Chains A and B, each alone.
Chain A
Amino acid sequence: MTPDTTAASDFDCEAALAQLDDYLKRELTPELADRVRAHVEACAPCFRQMRYAERFLSLLRGPGSELRCPDPLRLRIADALRAEGGDH
């Protein structure tokens, strides 16, 4: 497997890779994020894996992100809600 070349972190590659997606999604505690960052910055194979994961996640953010609910649909919904009556 990939060698752990870092002395700066107590994290090995396996531990860092397991947290990579969550790190990129900013879902880790600051402490854990620091440890992942320290490892990745000092480990070339893990750094490449991070770039890989980053590009993958950025690809997923693409499709449809610019879309907004069309106005005709908003109007249709407003009409349907009115027809439904009630006063919430």
Chain B
Amino acid sequence: MTDTPGPASSFEREALPHLDTLYRVALRLGGEESRAQDLVQDTMLKAFRAWHQFRPGTNARAWLLTILRNTFINEYRRQKREPIPVDIDLVEPYIVRPAGPDTDPEGAFFSKIVDARVLEAVRSLPDEFRDALILSDMEGLSYAEVAESLEVPIGTVKSRLFRARRLLQKQLYDHAVEMGYIQPREDR
């Protein structure tokens, strides 16, 4: 497929195998196909220019994902002119155990929710939650690799994931009620 001429450089050997991951993560982050493609290309070019900073033997995928994420955030900020968000890890954790429970304790309703709705809900999460969730639960990276990609301690990854999942479960539960996939709980 990629029959590029010339000798395989170390960059090509290390970075190109991760294009699928970068592309999937870019799409989940941004949604729009053309924008996701631009993001992947920008990421690869930046990585190429910064290749001397990469330490051989360390995790190239995590390194590339760091660049992709930082690029995405910077673009997003520039376009939206939004203020830099507060440190989400200092926000009080809110434990919601949205219990689909009474009428659907095992969450059968999840299987009725379409992909587009899942993505919409994921993108509505605060950035820090969204990023951890995409890398861990959608792309399947280990917590350690997510921590490396997001440049935060593993404990931070865990707490972000915990809260991201609870928020998302609540949203999807509410959506399922709205769509009539399950009956709402009677809280009386």
Contact = CB atoms under 8 A, between A and B. Distances in A.
Contacts of B19: 69, 73-74, 77
A81 B44 CA distance: 8
A64 B118 CA distance: 11
A51 B108 CA distance: 9
Given A27-B142, A68-B20, A76-B41, A81 B48 contact: yes
B79 interface: no
Interface string A7-34: 0000000000000011001010000000
B11 interface: yes
B165 to A, nearest CB: 6
A59 B41 contact: no
Given A52-B105, A81-B45, A88-B48, A71 B1 contact: yes
Contacts of A81: 11-12, 44-45, 48
B49 A84 contact: yes
A27 B162 CA distance: 13
Contacts of B11: 81, 88
Interface in A48-88: 48-49, 51-65, 67-71, 73-78, 80-82, 84, 86-88
B111 interface: yes
B132 to A, nearest CB: 12
A88 B6 CA distance: 12
- Size bracket, chain B contacts: 35 or more
B40 A73 contact: yes
Secondary structure at the A interface, as helix, strand, loop or mixed, is: helix
Interface string B6-33: 1001111000100110111001100000
A63 B111 CA distance: 12
A64 B44 contact: no
A78 B119 CA distance: 30
Nearest to A75: B2
B5 to A, nearest CB: 9
For the complex of A and B, list the 7 residue pairs with the smallest distance between their C-beta atoms, beginning with the closest.
A52-B107, A63-B115, A51-B106, A88-B11, A69-B19, A69-B23, A55-B107
Interface of B: 1-2, 4, 6, 9-12, 16, 19-20, 22-24, 27-28, 37, 40-41, 44-45, 48-49, 51, 100-101, 105-108, 110-111, 113, 115-116, 118-119, 122, 133, 136-138, 140, 142-143, 158, 161-162, 165, 168-169, 172
